[in-house]
Amino acid sequence: MSAPTAGIINVTGYVGVELARLLHQHPGVDLAWVTGRSAAGQKLGSIFPHLTGIDLTIQPEPGGADVVFSAMPHRESAAVIAPLLERGMRVVDASADFRLKDISEYERRYGVEHPASHLVSEAVYGLPELHRQELSSARLVANPGCYPTGAILALAPAVREGLIERDIVVDSKSGVSGAGRTPALNTHYSEANEDISAYALEGHRHLPEITQELDLLRPGQSVSVTFIPHLTPMTRGILSTCYACLAPSAEGMGREAFSQLYRHFYCEHPFVRVVESSPHTKHTWGSNMCLVYPTVAPDTGTLVVISAIDNLVKGAAGEAVQNMNLMLGLPETSGLEGLAVVP
């Protein structure tokens, strides 16, 4: 019996090439085809030399596959995905198109009309640590944004247990690869090197994802998240430092109590590791692991939770493969066992 097949739409961005790397090395899936518009007709390895070992020619259009990954930009992605679903394929969409259940919020944040709003309700938000069950039967998975992945995993246990007040600060520091492969002045080496700055102060598009998922954890209560992303001089990694005042129900809880709570929350989730000291993005480099460290600031009693991920793996392509594993009934860790490459 042959292995299930996978295809990648728009392989030519950083999420696309990372998907190609992971799927090629996946023991239970065959990467059948990859598409890319401007690069169609060329060997994958001729554009991405590190992928020379993958013997595929970039196609102009998707073929058939058991699971299709879309790495198209938002809006275009939904348009490409809809006919594939009709043809019976299952899809993991790495774009933002199906992440938000509130279509008007999507349209406001992204400034476009939703191209396939009829599919929104069935799409499963692809954070396996919160939606593992639904993912196994999902036809359409909305792969989370990189920032939401780190922020939600940092906050979910505290929010679900009602241990923090509703005002939450998420201060995230991202490597530059999160901005994609298209050259621009802010990601020009000479500008981004030796520099840190905050951006999207008028409101980042990933914020409603964070709010949506946290609110689902504790029906009847809603969080108020101030989320500020920062561009930092490294290629990969997101460190999210999250702050919230303790709720009365958490009175007396210190670092150890939170650590225990978090461990219990994630005990059956292979890609979240609750750690005992402040995590480094470097320790996730190239791996699908999310490191989470909850603690309580001794001077103020504020809960501080720090998470570290590789934005291209657990924050994008790795999480997408994790979702595919669940959809296909493969072991959740299949193809994702690679340890981080350090230093």
Q: Which is nearer to its own copies, 49 or 88 (CB)?
A: 49
Which positions ≥6 away from 282 have C-beta within 8 Å?
237, 340, 342, 343
Tokens for 38, please give them: 């401007």
Minimum distance of its own copies from residue 213's CB (angstroms): 15
Q: Which is nearer to its own copies, 305 or 324 (CB)?
A: 305
Tokens for 32, please give them: 């059948």
Q: Which is nearer to its own copies, 236 or 314 (CB)?
A: 236
Q: Which of 146, 242, 245, 290 is catalytic?
A: 146
Q: Identify whether the C-beta of residue 47 lies closer than 8 Å to the C-beta of residue 58.
A: yes
Q: Which is nearer to its own copies, 61 or 102 (CB)?
A: 102
- 242 catalytically annotated: no
264's enclosing H/E stretch is: helix 255-265
CB neighbours (10 Å) of residue 253? 20
Q: Identify whether the C-beta of residue 245 lies closer than 8 Å to the C-beta of residue 231.
A: no
Q: Identify whether the C-beta of residue 211 lies closer than 8 Å to the C-beta of residue 124.
A: no
Sign of the C-alpha dihedral, residues 213, 214, 218, 222? negative
Minimum distance of its own copies from residue 133's CB (angstroms): 26
Integer Cα distance of 96 and 102 in angstroms: 12
Tokens for 66, please give them: 């058991």
Integer Cα distance of 201 and 197 in angstroms: 11
Q: Identify whether the C-beta of residue 123 lies closer than 8 Å to the C-beta of residue 98.
A: yes
Minimum distance of its own copies from residue 84's CB (angstroms): 27
Minimum distance of its own copies from residue 171's CB (angstroms): 4
Could you say which DSSP state residue 170 is in? Answer: E
Integer Cα distance of 282 and 29 in angstroms: 28
Q: Which is nearer to its own copies, 121 or 189 (CB)?
A: 189
Minimum distance of its own copies from residue 268's CB (angstroms): 16
Q: Which is nearer to its own copies, 74 or 109 (CB)?
A: 109
Minimum distance of its own copies from residue 210's CB (angstroms): 10
Active site residue ranges: 146
